Structure formats: structure tokens, C-alpha cells
Amino acid sequence: MQRPSEIASAGGKLGVLMPGMGAVATTTIAGTMLARRGLGEPVGSLTQNATIRLGKRTDERTPRIRDFVPLAGLDQLVFGGWDIFPDNALEAAKHARVLEDRHLEPIKSELEAVVPMKGVFYPEYVKRLHGTHVKTGATKAEMVEQLREDIRRFMKDNGCDRAVAVWCGSTEIYFPPSDVHASIQTFEEGLLANDPGISNSQLYAWACLKEGVPYANGAPNLSVDFPAAQELARERCVPIAGKDFKTGQTLMKTIIAPGLKARMLGIEGWFSTNILGNRDGEVLEDPDSFKSKEVSKLGVLDYVLQPDKHPKLYGNLYHVVRINYYPPRGDAKEGWDNIDLFGWLGYPMQLKLDFLCRDSILAAPIVLDLALLLDLASRAKLSGIQEWLSFYFKSPMTAPSLYPEHDLFIQLMKLKNTLRWMMGEGVITHLGHEYYD
Ligand SMILES: NC(=O)c1ccc[n+]([C@@H]2O[C@H](COP(=O)([O-])OP(=O)(O)OC[C@H]3O[C@@H](n4cnc5c(N)ncnc54)[C@H](O)[C@@H]3O)[C@@H](O)[C@H]2O)c1
């Protein structure tokens, strides 16, 4: 891949379109509105807080990422999206019960003005929901056309120069890619024939790619993770990324597992269980939707620990992930991990982790960063899978011949090195021999 010769200006308005305007989307929107009025801090966002070292350790060049790469500012963002319920962003945020009134009151009218467009909803892909605010159309191809019109109208009405999309909709049932997903041609034939292999989220993704709108997938379903979408993304020069935001338990897993592996400590068992009571939890009660999540969550340890290379340490690892819907907790999820590990001569030890986290509070900065970084990638003319954004995902998309990199610290190094590379700075290898020459 060639280094971008130039990056187009970040000026103008950037539309941030979210299919699915529930807990995560409204927490992102409200948080951004508060941050730009100076009424809240965008904690957890790399684009807003992180710094990046440039050159040698002795050079003392450590700007903020947002001062180093040309990113759209928070004031330039215009939020919109689709949902299968008609609630505006204020109503949806109240329903989600993530943010308190003290945070919603000051931006009440701004939130009320964010009204979802009608969603595309074939209910067989999310069985627990019964949406009423939905489009009608004879074929899936027609639905894609309606979504494309929505995008064009939204951009025109809001004076947007560019747009990006982040899927924040419910997790769809699990199914692997089939023949219909193989190429642009088979997929377009499938759209006309209402092929059952094409899910709702894939219709949004297709519409966005056709409109040249970069697309990130925050859920574990395949949305944009199939050959036809990747072919279209390259053909239209659109960056894509996914899948499944890395927030609570998996974030911790990709922090702790690389540490235990670095010390070559063995692991015999890792039992992960969660209780959560938001709508996401309700959808995940359906075994078919849970299957998508389970596949996404289970893959992590295999790739981090490489049991094939270290069979004595990780060859017999028993890894279980459970999620239980428990309404009293709302969005304040609790994730427990019990890790059975062993050390010198095989002596056993245990590590218990109890993360009382907040799902949408952890997801919102990821949505913001993905929107800003995908827009940057698009202006730098990067297209197809953006593996350097793996940092944000539980189940990162990669080129077909590559295994995904799950170690959070390798992912962060890759992200920062990509930014250095884009801007013509030297990448940092941490070799550091020059300090001792
Ligand atoms: N919060 C986290 O930490 C986290 C982490 C990883 C992944 N995710 C994923 O992010 C997604 C959003 O999570 P959430 O907590 O906001 O869920 P949520 O249930 O509050 O919001 C999802 C919204 O999507 C809407 N929706 C469903 N199908 C749709 C369609 N076809 N078109 C338009 N809208 C549709 C629903 O009506 C709902 O309002 C879920 O898939 C979840 O699994 C969340």
C-alpha cells in the first residue's frame, strides 16, 4: 500500500450516521454535544485525549493526536441515523437510562432535533424486536435505494460535505457468509431476489458503500465482513472497519491475557460471565443473536495465546463465555472472570476479576474515534479493510490470509504507527539502539 501523497482538508461538516439509535448511539451523541459546549469531558477517546510520540525519545515531540493528524473537530459533526422505533435522541437516551437528567437537560432541544429516519427491518434477523418505524419495499434492492436516498437527503438538508456511518444497531442472528456474499454481482442479484442470506445491517452497509460513505460495524454480525462488501469498498475507494466494539470484558481480556502470555504463565481455564439489563441484553437472550456474540468473544484468547505454539501452557484451555439478561442492572453491566492459571512446575493460581462497568460509557468514545478516524482514512484515500483500527474491535477484520491481532498494546502501536506513516513521520519500533551508540 502506498503512503497517502496528500490528505484532503478536514474542513466542512461531517455527517455521522448511525443505523440503530439506542443506548450506544445516544450516549455518543449526547456526550459529543456536552463536550463541545465544555459541559463534559470525552474521557476514553484517543482522538480527543491521547498524545503521540514523534521521532526520538530525546526530541520531546509529543503532540496530541488531534493536533498531529487533520481530524474533523467536534463542532463540525452533525448526527443522524435510522431506527425501527420513532423516538428522537432525547427520548431514546431516556429510555436507555445511561445518562442522568443533569447531562440530558442542558442539551435537551439539540437532542430532540435528532430524529431517526425509518429503518429497514426484516424481523427474522433480530427476533426479540418488533419495530414500527420501518420502510416498506418489494425487494431488498429497493430498500438499499431508499437508504441511499436518505443519505443524500440528510447530507443536503444538513449541508454536510462528507459522511461516515457506524452500525450501532442490535446484534443480528449468527450466520456465516454464503454464495450470495461472494462478489458484487452475486450480492446485487441476491438483493433483487430477496435472498434470505442478506441481513438488515448488510443493506445499510451496501447503501453506504454505494454512496461512498465509510462504514464501521460495532456489532458482531457480518454487516460489512464479507467478500462482496470488501470488493465494493475497494472499487469505490471507501474505508471499512469492524467488528464488535471492544468495551467491557473483552477489553479486559485483551489487556490481561497478553500480560500472562508475556510472562509465559500457563492458563487452564477462563470462565467469563456477564449480567446486563439493557435492550442489547434483551436481544442477546435470543440464542441465535447470542451465537454471533459468542463467536466474537471466544476467538480472542486463541489468537492472543497461540495454543498451537505453546501446547503445554495453553493447549487444554477451557474457555467459556456467558451473558445473562438481568433487567435491574440496566446498562451497568457486571462482568466476572475467573482465570485458572499455573506457574513454575505447574503450581495452580487463580485470578478473579469483577468489572462493574458501564457498557455505553465505554462504547461511546469508540464510536466517536471510529467516525473521526474513518473520515481521516477516507480523505487520505485509504480503501477497504482498515486493520489499524483493530484496537477498537473484539473481532477485527483482516485480509483473508491474515489472522487478527488481538493484543491491545500491539493494536495501539499499529494504530499510532499508521498515523505516523500517513503523515510522513518515521514509525517507532522501540529498538532504541541509537541512544547507546
Ligand atoms: N455497549 C457496548 O459495550 C457494546 C459493545 C460491543 C458491541 N455493542 C453492540 O452495539 C450495538 C448497540 O448496542 P446498544 O446497547 O446501543 O443497543 P440498543 O438495543 O440500545 O440499541 C440498538 C438499536 O438498534 C435498533 N435497531 C435494531 N435493528 C435495526 C435496524 N434494522 N435498523 C435500524 N435500527 C435498528 C434498535 O431499535 C435499538 O434502538 C449492539 O449490537 C451491541 O451488541 C455494544
**Atom of ligand 1 lying closest to residue 121 CA:** 31
129, 168, 222, 286, best to mutate for ligand 1 pocket (most atoms within 8 Å of CB): 168
Domains of the chain: 14-245+361-422 (3.40.50.720), 249-356 (3.30.360.10)
Mark the ranges of the chain whose per-residue pLDDT is less than 70.
Answer: 296
CB 82 less than 6 A from any atom of ligand 1: yes
CB 168 less than 6 A from any atom of ligand 1: yes
- State residue 131's pLDDT score: 87
**Atom of ligand 1 lying closest to residue 247 CA:** 3
CB 80 less than 6 A from any atom of ligand 1: no
In angstroms, what is the span from residue 120 Cα to ligand 1's centroid? 14
- State residue 155's pLDDT score: 98
Tell me which residue of 364, 84, 80, 370 sits closest to 201, measured CA to CA: 84
- Is the pTM higher than 0.85? The answer reads yes
Residue closest via CA to ligand 1's atom 9 equals 219
- State residue 9's pLDDT score: 95
Backbone angles phi, psi at 273, to 5 degrees: -135, 150
